[in-house]
Amino acid sequence: MKKFIFIFMISSTIFGACRSADKKAVSSEKENAVIDKDSREVPDFSRGIFSEEILWYLGRISDPRVSPDGETVLYAVKYYDYKLDKGNQELYTVPARGGSPKRITTTVENEFGAIWRPDGKKIAFLREGEDKDGIQVWECNPDGSAPQQLSRVKTGVSAFYYAPDLAHVLYLTDVPLDSTVQTRYPDLPKAHALIADELMYRHWDHWADGSYTHAIVATYPDFENPVDLTPDCPYIVDEVTWHPNGKQIAYSSKKLTGKAFSESTNADIYLYDIENGNTLNLTEVNEGYDREPCFSPDGKYMAYWSMKTPGYESDKQRLMVLDLHTGNAIDYSTHFDQNAEHFVWAADSRQLYFLSGIQATIQAYRLDIVSGEISQLSRGDHDYNTLDRIGEQLLVTKTTMATPTELYTLNPTTGQETQLTFENKDILEKITSCTITKRWVRTTDNKDMLVWVILPPNFDSTKCYPALLYCQGGPQQTVSQFFSYRWNFQMMAAHDYIIVAPNRRGLPGFGSEWNDQISLDYGGQNMKDYLSAIDAVAKEPYVDKNRLGAVGASYGGFSIYWLAGHHQKRFKAFIAHCGMFNFESWYATTDELFFANHDLGGPYWQKNIPHSYTFSPHRFVGNWDTPILVIHGGNDFRIPYTEGMQAFHAARIQNIPARFLFFPEEWHFVSSPQNAILWQREFFRWLDTYLK
């Protein structure tokens, strides 16, 4: 039996530990240096395949914004220096017709949330204030010159928007409303505690601090006469946008508190009038999510997406268009069995562009408002992740499993793409890519399932490779052409593993029936789908059926725990990250109860306990017989880390080889460079031990 190892990363904030020796060795001068593409140590490219160091060397493009005249694209690039354990994001521009990018900021601070002023003469962005007074709004010329801090908001700024007429600005900031220990007991300034009387006292990765994100309107450019759109209301405001008239603001908000906030998805879109202060609920009739408001250029319509089923966070995102004059909303996706999001209007307000997932890809679409016709504009195995209009063209960010984000223009008539940025071209040219293939596998209920099969670089069909079944999270989240910086198929393939990534039951992009089936059936058909996929690929002569592993996170982590008790000796190694192990303990500790109520059927203590609780992996640990690596983050409040502890303990009590990799300061994801690289190294150390 292999010796087990328990890896525990000590948290400096929790245990008061000193900074690690390697950080002490870094000079303050280097700590304060600007991190850019050329200032970092170049990783080893000699093997010609991806490594974890190369993965974190890639530049990460985000937040493209088209200038008002359509001539220039503003975007951000973030570079990481893993030895410093931090990254730095700067702003760039590139001509819309193609050309060389120009860097317009060079600071030790991160610049983000950048937008064009409506007249195109300035660029606004967020970064730390001159007096270290939190994140503030800055403004500069389009070439980056003359940067100037505009705001001095005491609680900082998290997002910023110009009014179309430049008379006002709109920004988001956290407004303290609830009592804290210090406000209740001012004589105890050093007491560090939270007193909770109601649910949602923690969410995703943070504890409630008595503050709520609100939208504030103020005059431009002095930020005077601030007005809170929701004064004294304990609600979070999100997705704000100006009406073209500059007099109204739409925003989305779930105006519920406590237990109701935890149990409901009833988020509505509101219209606020800055002249009279009145607020109108535009989507009150719907009890599910209503999100992403987008006004037409002529101001007559507002597009948004809407989920019909209360409490179901993965329901179909219906494409809705509201006539602001009549108040009537039309569902244009009645005969379109796909999601719709990332809306962009044509200049004539008669056509609406949007993104939608189809068969494990994300494509661009167009809606004709008059005829109601929806047309697919793009084809190919890729994901378009953002969308904007650039004259008569569209601007998209594109990824594949083999390539990180780059900017492209898309001709909506011909579907032709033109690449605008080549941020990582010099890196990718040194890498032998994996081969991405897809096949349709027949399921146990006689349906066709799309399965991605990723082959190693320099694949040799005469050899026999170990294979990994990849189990997706969500659970309703497509295995599309995403490029992940952790669950990276290039990385897995570079370690000479074949990856089997099925779009099993419960994933969008294959119709509502396929997506919805998984609810209340966690241990049912979708688990059979997993086994159908790995069994089909394991028949290939280049796959060693005696060296199969299974890996996954979140719902994928639950899948690993469930497969561990039901795999009938198919697999030789498991890795579960942030997975649900015990449905009862998970239900009683997770933050958003609407998810658990919908997918499990309600609490485990109700009179008629839902059948879904019989799928809980902890019920089947007596069948476990396979080495398992368990990974969890201490700040994961969606699936608390005690779920991982239970799984690790259950394995070790039975003398099954196991390892617990715990990150006290990470959450449902692992985001800091050195933690992420450690994650990769332990991931492959475990697999290589049992599969090679």
636 is a catalytic site residue = yes
The more confident residue out of 31 and 25 is 31
Structural domain of residue 620, as residue ranges? Answer: 433-691
Written as one string, the DSSP assignment of 460-522 is -TTS-EEEEEEE-STTT----S---SSS-HHHHHHTT-EEEEE--TT-TTS-HHHHHTTTT-T
From CA 445, how far away is CA 449, in angstroms rounded?
A: 11
Angle between helices 555-564 and 525-538 (to 10 degrees): 70
| In contact, 210 and 194? CB cutoff 8 Å | no
- On average, the pLDDT of the chain sits at 94
Instruction: Kindly report, residue by residue over 39-76, the tens digit of the pLDDT.
Output: 899 999 999 999 999 999 999 999 999 999 999 999 99
- The answer to the question of residue 669 being in a domain is yes
List the 148-149 sheet strands across, edge first: 112-116, 123-128, 135-140, 148-149
- What is the token pair recorded at 277? 């202060």
- What is the token pair recorded at 44? 């080893």
| Helix and strand totals (H; E) in the chain | 15, 39
Model pTM score: 0.94
Region 189-218 average pLDDT: 96
**Cα separations in angstroms, 151 against 75, 246, 379:** 22, 20, 44
Residue 410 pairs in a beta bridge with 394, 417
User: Is the pLDDT assigned to residue 12 strictly greater than 50?
Assistant: no
Region 535-560 average pLDDT: 98
Instruction: Find, among 65, 63, 97, 121, the residue nearest to 392 by Cα.
Output: 97
Region 252-272 average pLDDT: 97
- The answer to the question of residue 273 being in a domain is no
Region 527-554 average pLDDT: 98
- The answer to the question of residue 651 being in a domain is yes
Instruction: Find, among 89, 80, 93, the residue nearest to 110 by Cα.
Output: 89
pLDDT given for residue 30 in this prediction: 54
554, 559, 612, 616: the active-site residue: 554
306 is a catalytic site residue = no
pLDDT given for residue 32 in this prediction: 67
Region 450-460 average pLDDT: 97
Ramachandran class of 336: left when φ > 0, alpha when ψ lies in -120 to 50, beta otherwise: beta
268, 516, 599, 636: the active-site residue: 636
User: Is the pLDDT assigned to residue 121 strictly greater than 70?
Assistant: yes
User: Is the pLDDT assigned to residue 642 strictly greater than 80?
Assistant: yes
pLDDT given for residue 20 in this prediction: 38
- The answer to the question of residue 495 being in a domain is yes
User: Is the pLDDT assigned to residue 371 strictly greater than 60?
Assistant: yes
Own/partner contacts of 90-97, CB < 8 Å, gap of 24 or more, are 90/34, 90/36, 91/123, 91/125, 91/144, 93/142, 94/407, 94/420, 94/421, 95/71, 96/66, 96/67, 96/70, 96/71, 96/72, 96/390, 96/391, 96/395, 96/409, 96/420, 97/71
- The answer to the question of residue 580 being in a domain is yes
CATH code, domain carrying 470: 3.40.50.1820
Q: How many residues does the chain have?
A: 692
> Which residues, including other chains, have CB under 8 Å from residue 533's CB and lie 6 or more apart?
441, 449, 451, 469, 500, 502, 504
* Banded model confidence at residue 34, pLDDT cuts 50, 70, 90: confident
Beta-strand (E) ranges in 69-205?
A: 72-81, 86-95, 102-103, 112-116, 123-128, 135-140, 148-149, 159-162, 168-176, 202-203
Instruction: Find, among 395, 394, 300, the residue nearest to 348 by Cα.
Output: 300
- The answer to the question of residue 102 being in a domain is no
User: Is the pLDDT assigned to residue 11 strictly greater than 90?
Assistant: no
User: Is the pLDDT assigned to residue 2 strictly greater than 70?
Assistant: no
| Domain count within the chain | 1
> Which residues, including other chains, have CB under 8 Å from residue 488's CB and lie 6 or more apart?
50, 55
User: Is the pLDDT assigned to residue 31 strictly greater than 70?
Assistant: no
User: Is the pLDDT assigned to residue 321 strictly greater than 50?
Assistant: yes
- For residue 15, the tally of other CB atoms under 10 A from its CB is 8
- Residue 227, H or E segment: strand 227-228
- Residue 596, H or E segment: helix 593-600
From CA 504, how far away is CA 511, in angstroms rounded?
A: 12
* Banded model confidence at residue 635, pLDDT cuts 50, 70, 90: very high
Q: Which one-letter amino acid corresponds to residue 456?
A: P
User: Is the pLDDT assigned to residue 28 strictly greater than 70?
Assistant: no
User: Is the pLDDT assigned to residue 17 strictly greater than 80?
Assistant: no
- The answer to the question of residue 72 being in a domain is no
554 is a catalytic site residue = yes
- Residue 651, H or E segment: helix 642-653
Residue 451 pairs in a beta bridge with 439, 502
Region 239-261 average pLDDT: 97
Place of tokens 């609407």: 594
Pairing state of beta strands 448-455 and 465-471? unpaired
- The answer to the question of residue 261 being in a domain is no
| In contact, 391 and 97? CB cutoff 8 Å | no
